[in-house]
């Protein structure tokens, strides 16, 4: 992701260029879930232009994961532990007995859902399915996220996850027949609805991430 490339560029650069990258790191250190979504979206667009479709799929997976989390917090009122936000807050969960019963009975491929540890994509998906029963907005968001579920599953078959499968544009478009252009439009509309207009914050990442990519290319 962007932070990894920035750190790599800092290690390789010297002189004024390194000073510029250090200042950039400081400017980009202010982060929010909304900014993270916008950064992931721009990175996905960039990877498409570069033809790097394994990393493209990785960005789509992370974008889906973080969108689940943001909707859970903003639209469903889910409370995560205050330290890492990686687990459900026990007091909050115990006060929502209906959700707890739903999760206890939720199964994935015949196996019970483990929601007591780190909250992964499948746990957040199950939580949103519960709240979507009485919330049309969440139901709409969930329907959009379900449209890219095959891409998330594809990611799990690749080298960046648990498998060895390669990824091409054609393979992606088998999973999303409308094509990558329409996929990116779908995600852009989703992000605007969940995290607000891409606006100046998005342009900030766009310009600076392009600079990092350019510097890395020169240093290689």
- Tell me: the pLDDT tens digits for 41-57? 988 998 999 999 999 99
- How many Å separate Cα 181 from the centre of its chain? 18
User: CB–CB of 2/27 below 8 Å?
Assistant: no
At 202 the pLDDT is 55
- How many Å separate Cα 163 from the centre of its chain? 20
Residue 167 has pLDDT above 70, yes or no: yes
List the Cα angle 176/69/52 in 5-degree steps. Answer: 40
The range of the structural domain enclosing residue 72 comes to 2-219
C-alpha closest to that of 76 among 64, 88, 84, 86? 88
Rounded mean pLDDT, 17-29: 76
pLDDT digits (tens, 9 = 90+) for 91-118: 999 999 999 999 999 999 999 999 999 9
Rounded mean pLDDT, 149-178: 90
At 138 the pLDDT is 96
- How many Å separate Cα 90 from the centre of its chain? 25
pLDDT classification of 64: cutoffs 50, 70, 90: very high
Residue 33 has pLDDT above 90, yes or no: no
In degrees and rounded to multiples of 5, residue 168 shows phi and psi of -125, 170
For residues 134 and 88, give the distance between their C-alpha atoms in angstroms, rounded to a whole number: 21
pLDDT classification of 71: cutoffs 50, 70, 90: very high
Residue 156 Cα distances to 68, 122, 161, 162, 190, angstroms = 18, 13, 5, 6, 23
At 91 the pLDDT is 94
For residues 45 and 68, give the distance between their C-alpha atoms in angstroms, rounded to a whole number: 20
Residue 10 has pLDDT above 70, yes or no: yes
pLDDT classification of 90: cutoffs 50, 70, 90: very high
Sign of CA dihedral 198, 200, 202, 206: positive
| Domain count across the chain | 1
Rounded mean pLDDT, 205-213: 69
């Amino acid at each position: 992701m962007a932070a990894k490339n920035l750190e790599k560029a800092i290690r390789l650069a010297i002189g004024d260029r390194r000073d510029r990258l250090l200042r950039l790191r400081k400017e980009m250190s202010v982060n929010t879930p909304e900014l993270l979504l916008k950064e992931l979206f721009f990175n996905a667009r960039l990877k498409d232009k570069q033809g790097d479709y394994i990393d493209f799929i990785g960005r789509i997976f992370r974008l889906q994961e973080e969108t689940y989390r943001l909707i859970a917090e903003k639209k469903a009122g889910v409370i995560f532990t205050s330290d890492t936000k990686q687990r459900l807050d026990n007091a909050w969960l115990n006060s929502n007995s209906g959700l707890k019963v739903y999760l206890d009975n939720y199964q994935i491929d015949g196996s019970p859902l483990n929601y007591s540890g780190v909250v992964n994509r499948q746990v957040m998906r199950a939580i949103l399915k519960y709240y979507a029963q009485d919330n049309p907005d969440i139901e709409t968001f969930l329907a959009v996220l379900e449209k890219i579920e095959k891409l998330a599953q594809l990611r799990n078959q690749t080298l960046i996850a648990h498998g060895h499968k390669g990824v091409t544009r054609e393979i992606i478009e088998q999973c999303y027949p409308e094509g990558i252009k329409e996929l990116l439009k779908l995600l852009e509309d989703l992000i605007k609805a969940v995290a607000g207009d891409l606006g100046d914050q998005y342009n900030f990442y766009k310009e600076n991430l392009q600079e990092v990519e350019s510097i890395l290319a020169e240093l290689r």
